[in-house]
Structure 1
Amino acid sequence: MAPLKIAVLDDYQGLSVPHFKQLDPAGYDVTIFRDTLLPYNHPDTPQSVKDELAKRLEAFEVICTMRERTPFPRELIARLPNLKLLLTTGTRNASLDLAALKERNIPVAGAADTGPAKSVGADSTTQHCVALILAAARNIAPDDASVKSGGWQTSYAAGLSGKVFGTVGLGRLGVAVARIMSFAFGMRIVAWSSNLTQEAADKKAKAAGLPVETNGEKTFKVVSKEELFKSADVVSIHLVLSDRSRGVIAAGDLALMKPTAIFVNTSRGPLVVEEDLIGALEKGQIRTAALDVFNIEPLPLDSKWRTTKWGQDGRSQVLLTPHMGYVEKGTLDVWYQQQIENIRRWEKGEALTSSFF
């Protein structure tokens, strides 16, 4: 019998290698890809790249993806005649056309993070978000570049104590970051999302171990979207990307922000109209943007995010990281090991862990 052909996609760090070496090469033919091609369903992806992606994947019976790095829309799935099992990481993946996969009777399963961060309530994305806020406020990246190039003090920090932290979204991650900014820095928290009520916010504050109010002021104060963008010294995005939330933040919102404010996005790039954000930053409308997510990932080499001289000639400072919010070795090791276990379960006809349907 021919070996089972397995593709492991988008493993930038090569962390999957020792895990997939557990599989006997006599029975498994594993190919690990260290790069990502442009998304099949992105309007800027040329047909030649779509064809390249389909050709790359068409021979594989099992595909192991990493989060949403490679989307699987219906059109791509239709071009993968040998696909029998699709494994992703995390417990949801909005870039998979689950209906198309179900029609083909292709099982889909995720991988849950069972690492130590889950037991202490400050997961990887929360830590990364707080790190970006602090780095932006303390001007870490420009100061590092200045010292290394022979300079010294060329800027000043923005204090956070007693300032206003605005969270767009008050789900698990929004609460986690707001809790830290409140508890550690005494920031006042304002929150907005389309269906958020004060009653719900009060329950979330209590569940996070915070008082519902102090001196008559709500710990998580629900405000209008306009008030949040006007009043916040730090605006941080914590929404799930959906058709309804796509582009929820646009030029009008950004125009309300204080010129001293910091804008942070560790959720998903398309939540913000990217052209509007770039335009505001090119005009220097706010102090700093700190971004971990983008419309297209990895960023093209000619992206304005890469090529613009941020922080110069009146432009805002911009701090960029390559979607590192969830990228911890321990987490990725757990995910890859679960993928191995699910391949073995699938071959035995057993139920998959973290199955999507």
Structure 2
Amino acid sequence: MILALARNIAADDASIKTGGWQSDMAVGLSGKTLGVVGLGRLGAAVARIGSLAFGMKIKCWSSSLDQAKADEMAVKLGLPTVDEDGDKTFQAVSKEELFATADVVTLHYVLSGRSRGLVGVKELKTMKKSALLVNTSRGALIDETALLGAANEGSVRGVALDVFESEPLPADSPWRSQDWGKGNKSRVLVTPHMGYVEEGILNSWYAEQAENVERWLDGKDILHQLV
């Protein structure tokens, strides 16, 4: 979704199909700063791609993250702890610094009572006007009212959402508008919670459930048991 938003893929596709051509300038990622909120398995994987494929500087934050843990994650992914410029490959920073300095902010955080509304008016106002915000994690991590206000004002360049606080997205949701990206409004790219909807993933889930039934019948331990 980062690439689709940065390269304006959806808008250009729609433009061509309605008789137009290029809709707007694309945003290059090379050398830009990627702010990763949540450096777990998924967040770290995105950070690794940003670093290796695009030469992005990686800044990361979570409530329990420190530089030692960030270095440990870099090593786990086969990366050096320091890049060729002498900077930390995964730089642990404050939440305030991440939102203020990142060119792209991507969320990979667990939703809980404490993290609900993690991104609100304060964080959105801190972001660069040229920045992109991407959420493929959980909709309620962002204060939706605040985000709609920021997008309507164009206070960030673009927003990409695969998750929403209310799903399926209501028919009258402002996110369904065709006016995004026009006037002073932010670009908006929305997808219907498709991050996990992939043949391989779903097939593996179903196969594991079938195996777990057999294991339960045979009196064996259940795979990936939560409780």
TM-score class, shorter: over 0.9
The equivalent residue for 2:58 is 189
The equivalent residue for 1:333 is 203
Question: Against the structure 1 CA distance between its residues 198 and 351, is the aligned structure 2 distance closer, same or farther, given a 3 Å change threshold?
Answer: closer
Q: Distance in 2 between matches of 1:344 and 1:219?
A: 45
Structural mapping, 1:152-191, within 5 Å: 152-191=21-60
The equivalent residue for 2:163 is 293
Q: Distance in 2 between matches of 1:183 and 1:348?
A: 46
Residues 233-259 of structure 1 show CA distances to partners (whole Å, capped at 9, x for unaligned) of: 100011111111111110110111111
Q: Secondary structure at the match of 2:160?
A: strand
The equivalent residue for 1:245 is 115
Shift of 1:309: 2.1
Residues 192-236 of structure 1 show CA distances to partners (whole Å, capped at 9, x for unaligned) of: 111211111111111111111133211111111111111111000
Q: Secondary structure at the match of 1:190?
A: strand
Question: Against the structure 1 CA distance between its residues 350 and 207, is the aligned structure 2 distance closer, same or farther, given a 3 Å change threshold?
Answer: closer
Q: Secondary structure at the match of 2:195?
A: coil
Shift of 1:308: 5.7
Q: Distance in 1 between matches of 2:75 and 2:32?
A: 22
Aligned residue identity for 2:184? G
Residues 81-139 of structure 1 show CA distances to partners (whole Å, capped at 9, x for unaligned) of: xxxxxxxxxxxxxxxxxxxxxxxxxxxxxxxxxxxxxxxxxxxxxxxxxxx11111111
Aligned residue identity for 2:192? P
The equivalent residue for 1:17 is none
Q: Distance in 2 between matches of 1:285 and 1:167?
A: 20
Shift of 1:343: 3.7
Of the three residues 221, 230, 234, the one matched with 2:91 is 221
Per the normalisation by structure 2, the TM-score is: 0.94
Aligned residue identity for 1:336? Y
Of the three residues 297, 301, 315, the one matched with 2:185 is 315
Q: Secondary structure at the match of 2:98?
A: helix
Q: Aligned pair count?
A: 226
Q: Secondary structure at the match of 1:155?
A: coil
Residues 232-289 of structure 1 show CA distances to partners (whole Å, capped at 9, x for unaligned) of: 1100011111111111110110111111111001111111111111110011111111
Q: Distance in 1 between matches of 2:99 and 2:140?
A: 18
Question: Against the structure 1 CA distance between its residues 216 and 329, is the aligned structure 2 distance closer, same or farther, given a 3 Å change threshold?
Answer: same
Of the three residues 142, 145, 160, the one matched with 2:14 is 145
Q: Distance in 2 between matches of 1:332 and 1:154?
A: 36
- RMSD over equivalenced CA pairs, Å: 1.6
Of the three residues 231, 237, 242, the one matched with 2:101 is 231
Whether 1:135 aligns to 2:13 is no
Per the normalisation by structure 1, the TM-score is: 0.61
Aligned residue identity for 2:2? I
Shift of 1:348: 5.8
Percent sequence identity over matched residues? 57
Q: Distance in 2 between matches of 1:213 and 1:344?
A: 48
Q: Distance in 2 between matches of 1:334 and 1:224?
A: 37
For structure 1, which runs of at least 5 residues remain unmatched after alignment?
Answer: 1-131
Q: Distance in 2 between matches of 1:269 and 1:232?
A: 20
Q: Distance in 1 between matches of 2:63 and 2:57?
A: 20
